Homo-oligomer: A and B are copies of this chain.
Amino acid sequence: MTGNVLIVGAGPGLSASLARLFSSEGYAVALAARDAAKLDDLCRETGARAHSCNASDKDSVKALFETLDAEGATPDVVIYNASGRTRGPVAELDPDQVRAALDVTAFGAFLVAHEAAKRMVPKKAGTMLFTGASAGIKGFPQSAPFAMGKFALRGLCQSLARELHPKNIHVVHFEIDGVIFRDDRGEPYDDPDKTLQPDEIARTYLEMARQHRSVWTNEIELRPYVERF
């Protein structure tokens, strides 16, 4: 085993690719999602253990980490891969849905970083990887909640990097600029030439997790070669 990895916001797509790759590289993988049952197949395939967790609830996140501690699976690497969004003209958005989206995209990332830092700071080691989006660099129209959440996530990652890098904890924000391939959702997800391949994203996550601390990246962008930006 090269360490324990926790993937929060697990599901099909990127999280599954991450689970497979980190598992194949010798990591023990823990998956956390609101509905852990849907992760059964992935667990069988990768040897991962699944945990139910509401990432935007402080008690649920705390309990998740305590469970991992008890199992001897305190994470060396955490990956935050959850996000929420609601779209529409700003005048027509539902404030409750907006707040719920912010809670998942940004506040949940804070909660996971908070619990992870409690454990990594005393150990003077660890890695935190956060899945951002182009919406964290540029706020698009009719998408204020996603812009707010992903900008907040990037602000979090910059603050964490400046605070935790000198404590030997590596923090990376991945700007995923484009649509991640999914073969079960139709257009525009199913065009392999215009989307990000989740296995390839995962490879860059792994490489970043392995960077020597003399060359740590805080921000990196990934996009399909045909993506306009």
Contact = CB atoms under 8 A, between A and B. Distances in A.
Interface stretch (A25-33, A46-54, A71-79, A93-101): A93-101
A21 interface: no
Contact of A166 (B160, B192, B216, B225): B225
Interface residues of A, number: 81
A196 interface: yes
Interface in A163-182: 163-166, 168, 170, 181
A148 interface: yes
Contacts of A93: 114
Contacts of A213: 224-225
A90 B107 contact: no
Contacts of A170: 225
Contacts of A200: 211-212, 214-215
A89 B117 contact: yes
Contacts of A227: 165
A217 B224 CA distance: 9
B148 A160 contact: no
A184 interface: no
Given A211-B204, A223-B216, A89 B162 contact: no
Nearest to A138: B158
B110 A98 contact: yes
Given A93-B114, A136-B155, A216-B225, 19 more contacts: A89-B163, A90-B117, A90-B159, A91-B117, A91-B121, A95-B110, A110-B145, A139-B154, A142-B159, A142-B163, A144-B156, A144-B159, A200-B211, A201-B215, A204-B215, A207-B207, A217-B222, A218-B221, A219-B219
17 contacts: A58-B96, A89-B163, A95-B114, A102-B106, A139-B154, A139-B158, A139-B161, A148-B155, A149-B155, A152-B155, A170-B225, A193-B214, A196-B214, A197-B214, A211-B222, A217-B220, A217-B221
